[in-house]
Structure 1
Amino acid sequence: MKQLGQKILDIRKRKGLSQEELSEHAGISLRTLQRIEKNESEPRGYTLQSICQALGVDVEEVYDYGKEPDKGVLLLMHLSVLSYLLMPLGNLIFPLIIWVTQKKKVLHVHEQGISLLNFQITWSLVTYPLMLTFVWMKILHSPIWWYILIAYLVLYFSNALYAIFVSWRVSKVAERSPYPFSLGILKV
Structure 2
Amino acid sequence: MKRENKSLLAVTHLSQLLDFVTGIGGLIVPLVIWFTQKDSVLGMDENGKSIINFRISMFIYVLLCIPLILLFGLGLLGFVVLGVLYLIFPIINAIKASNGEEPHYPFSMKFV
Q: What TM-score bracket applies, with the shorter chain setting the length?
A: 0.7 to 0.9
For 1:116 and 1:143, locate their aligned partners in 2 and report how far apart those are by CA, in whole Å. Answer: 31
Partner of 2:96: 169
Cα offset, 1:171, TM superposition: 1.3
Cα offset, 1:156, TM superposition: 1.2
For 1:85 and 1:114, locate their aligned partners in 2 and report how far apart those are by CA, in whole Å. Answer: 21
Which structure exhibits the higher relative contact order, with contacts defined as CA atoms closer than 8 Å and separated by 6 or more residues?
A: 2
Answer yes or no: is 1:183 the counterpart of 2:102.
no
Q: Which moved more, 1:159-168 or 1:83-92?
A: 83-92
For 1:83 and 1:70, locate their aligned partners in 2 and report how far apart those are by CA, in whole Å. Answer: 21
Taking structure 1 as the reference length, what is the TM-score of the superposition?
Answer: 0.53
Taking structure 2 as the reference length, what is the TM-score of the superposition?
Answer: 0.85
Partner of 1:144: 72
Listed one character per residue, the Cα deviations across residues 106-135 of structure 1 (whole Å, up to 9, x for unaligned) are 1100111111211111111111442x436x
Select the residue among 38, 51, 72 that pairs with 1:103: 38
For 1:97 and 1:153, locate their aligned partners in 2 and report how far apart those are by CA, in whole Å. Answer: 28
For 2:50 and 2:11, locate their aligned partners in 1 and report how far apart those are by CA, in whole Å. Answer: 15
For 2:25 and 2:81, locate their aligned partners in 1 and report how far apart those are by CA, in whole Å. Answer: 18
For 1:69 and 1:170, locate their aligned partners in 2 and report how far apart those are by CA, in whole Å. Answer: 11
Answer yes or no: is 1:133 the counterpart of 2:67.
yes
Tell whether the 8 Å contact from 1:92 to 1:121 is kept in structure 2 after alignment.
Answer: no
Aligned residues: 112
Q: Cα RMSD between the aligned structures? A: 2.0
Q: What's the secondary structure of 2:22's corresponding residue? A: coil
Paired-residue identity, %? 31
For 1:79 and 1:72, locate their aligned partners in 2 and report how far apart those are by CA, in whole Å. Answer: 10
Cα offset, 1:83, TM superposition: 1.3
For 1:182 and 1:99, locate their aligned partners in 2 and report how far apart those are by CA, in whole Å. Answer: 18
Q: Which structure would you say has the larger Rg?
A: 1
What letter is aligned with 1:183? Answer: M
What letter is aligned with 1:94? Answer: V
Q: Mind listing any 5+ residue stretches in structure 1 that lack a counterpart?
A: 1-65
What letter is aligned with 1:95? Answer: P
